[in-house]
Structure 1
């Protein structure tokens, strides 16, 4: 009865302290001072719309297909999914600490004993002894150490989910950027070929004049050199195009040349026509997955302080065992062969040379590191948005000027060529006009690429990405024949 009274007392104490916890309580996400609006915006008005599937604003069906395929098969995303599964299993593993553990054993032994003196030794007949037992233990979470560990595990799972979302944001932005670059190189290749053809025509005209005696060898050499110089750009652009196409294949989780066939046909550089809803700086606390993940890691680190602190307090466990033994299996359940024991045990830390206290101090320092990481991540997010806003707005201004320059150089090249054919202009004027036109048109293509990439960078900086649910339950590798079986030879 005394043992039962001890158990009852321990249960009553556990119930009384069920809501007890040590260590700091997490007060929610930090609320740092943030600007009321972006520095490049004249108003803090929130634009309508969302960042959901922002790449549809680029209006390129092939890009949409590539992004969907990348989300399904990219190795980094698959790895992030596995991390989420690991975090969920960690929560389940940690939560098991709140419940008792029970184990059972069974054994059969053959026995033989001898009795009597050395001169009258008597051997008894051999007999089999059957034994079975059940052992259980339950550590009461009096000071909330297990609950704090569960808090840390849950927040770790939430952080893993945000890391998965961050992987998707990065992946989608990378696919879009490499796609835009590839289309830009295709446009530059086409421009170089088209320009070189025109320059070869100028070379023919110059050669005709030279053969007729009205031209000179210097002009002919310069015409030939300019056409060759333009043609020399084509291999460089083709190599860069191939690198972008290969990178797209890798991002899709496929061989480098997997999308070469899809990209073989040229298409215009995607040009966004709809502005992105930038929202307010404070929105980054929820829209940027890396910021949200850093905040969850801070919450996780705070919970770990409580788990370390609880280890400095006494631990109370309830242990019990039931055992039975008999000469026959059918007699194992008889009360006469049953023995049992039950009772509480208390473990009190007396002296550990400051080891447990040092563990708490380590957890506190790690929490401070997590806070600093959160603050740094948030500042970087603000910087990313500000830079993308400025770059996009200035690139649009630059594109307007480049368009004006290209139009005027085109007219100048047309006029100078006509005047040269009639002998009213020097060949230097023709070369200069054609060279300037090619440079302006090439710069305009690069500007279109830069504007599209700045648009993509802004979407990434704002945290825009995949919004559909992502299935993380399916493992990458499905093991078979995992039950008992003969082991194969090492491979």
Structure 2
């Protein structure tokens, strides 16, 4: 008897071993993702050398505020930015992309929840006398009524649906950051175009002043001709210079109108809207001082960097979802309803029908489709990481370039302003001497040309500095802050 029990035990162990080996053999034959991986990583801002190019202010700098454009003290610019925010087609496109991403995330969330549905069908059918349906229904026409209430739930043992949801949520965050990047780019374009309009008005003032100077030279030349000090050559030269100066004013008027049209297009309005824009009155703006801990904090301050980080996070979850496809998928489903021939017996207890059970799917051989899908996800991940790293390099370069340009412009302004003062004095002295007959017209024209060039150089540098200040504010993120940065860090 002991031997029989021992034999039964051994037989049971043998059976268990056989089942285990069989299961292991099945799993070994299943599709797997061995050898598919990526070694790409997002670069850390601190890994780039920036200490010399991006020095933090000793007295503490600050990040731009969302209303950074108000530093120039022009109420019209503020109003234009608000107008663009309300009606720009470019921003509407960005908002539509957010809505699309949100809808996709809602679909992904639905896949993590139980699905319940109801159906009703009515069919009229003649049943064969030689098939499965027995008499009295065989050979007769019958109306079948069927009403079912069904439910299903994917157990999601390996987190496939949860990872798809996380990937979709990250895409929503990326789309929101993209929208902020679009808004910042639009604000920057409007501010820089507005500054260009101010530049053209300043150059027009200089050109109009030059017209006045040329008219004065024409009058002095006419008097000198009457006194025999000049000839018709000097008169024609003075007339030609006057006509050239007036043409410069006309050209600037045309460029002013074109710039107005450009601003109107940025606002999402017709060209006539640009004609109602008044002359800008922009101030110098705030002192330029970089904030502390710049490289590290920039990744949460630049919307394009934030969007790139969220896309890397999304690709990470896409990879996990693709890996979960290699494992068994178990779906629980059940159905309860009524099924009967004719309407009279449908609502009776005998017409009840119900079933329930699991459905298991295990990929064994798929021709390499799952491995190819996972390789594609890793390729997308590598691309997203490379895009983030390149965006980070570009962001650091933008800030360093903007700061360097401002410092260079400040240094140039000192020398050019000195040159402007000297050129103005030389111009007045030459004109006085010409009026008194102590010098010739060529000396006056040379002094006038030098003074005009110096005034244009000063005006251009002042406008350049403001333009560079606008660009630096944009390079620092324009007041944007990612409130979900900790979510990425936690993952």
**Residues matched between the structures, number:** 442
Q: Which segment is superposed worse, 460-469 or 361-370?
A: 460-469
The structure 1 residue matched to 2:158, chosen from 143, 146, 166, is 143
TM-score (norm. length: structure 2): 0.83
Task: State whether structure 2 residue 473 is matched by structure 1 residue 459.
Answer: yes
Take 1:111 and 1:364, find their aligned partners in 2: how far apart are those partners?
53
C-alpha deviations, 1:224-257, integer Å up to 9, x for none? 2222222221232222222211111111111122
Confirm or deny: 8 A CA contact 2:63 2:479 kept in the other structure: no
What is the alpha-carbon root mean square deviation over aligned residues?
3.0
- Once the two structures are TM-superposed, the CA of residue 426 in structure 1 deviates from its matched residue by 2.0
Secondary structure of 2:229's match?
coil
Q: 1:74 aligns with which of 78, 85, 88?
A: 88
Hey, what's the Cα distance between the residues in 1 that align with 2:342 and 2:264?
69
Moved more, 101-110 or 32-41: 32-41
Query: Judging changes above 3 Å, is the alpha-carbon distance between structure 1 residues 113 and 347 closer, same or farther for their aligned structure 2 residues?
Result: closer
Identify which of 343, 363, 372 aligns with 2:386.
Answer: 372
- Correspondence 1:33-182 to 2 at 5 A: 33-35=47-49, 37=51, 39=53, 41=55, 46-48=60-62, 50-110=64-124, 128-182=143-197
- Give unmatched runs, 5+ long, in structure 1: 1-21, 116-121, 470-491
Contact kept in structure 2, 1:325 and 1:338, CA below 8 Å:
yes
Q: 1:28, 1:442 → 2: CA distance?
A: 50
Q: Distance in 1 between matches of 2:260 and 2:439?
A: 45
- Counterpart secondary structure, 1:272: coil
TM superposition score normalised by structure 1: 0.83
Cα distance, 1:94–1:123 mapped onto 2, change above 3 Å: closer
1:183-202 CA-to-partner distances (Å, cap 9, x unmatched) read 11012112212211221121
Shift of 1:294: 0.6
Q: Deviations over 1:134-185 (max 9, x none)?
A: 2333222011111111111011011111111111111111110000001110
- Residue number in structure 2 paired with 1:13: none
> What is the correspondence of 1:77-476 to structure 2 with a 5 Å cutoff?
77-110=91-124, 128-263=143-278, 266-279=279-292, 280-326=294-340, 329=343, 331-465=345-479
| CA spacing shift, 1:44–1:97, aligned 2, 3 Å | farther
Aligned pair in 2 of structure 1 residues 41, 426: CA closer, same or farther (>3 Å)?
farther
Inter-CA distance 75–466: structure 2 relative to 1 (3 Å threshold):
farther
Assess if the C-alpha contact under 8 Å between 2:301 and 2:479 holds in 1.
no
Unpaired runs of 5+ residues, structure 2, are: 1-32, 130-136, 484-491
Which stretch shifts more, 34-43 or 356-365? 34-43
**Does the residue aligned with 2:166 lie in a helix, a strand or coil?**
helix
SS at match of 1:377: helix
Shift in Å, 1:48: 4.3
Task: Flag the 1:268–1:194 CA change in 2: closer, same or farther, 3 A.
Answer: farther
Task: Provide the rounded CA distance (Å) in 2 between the counterparts of 1:308 and 1:45.
Answer: 51
- Contact 2:173–2:310, Cα closer than 8 Å, also in 1: yes
- Residue 371 of structure 1, CA deviation: 0.7
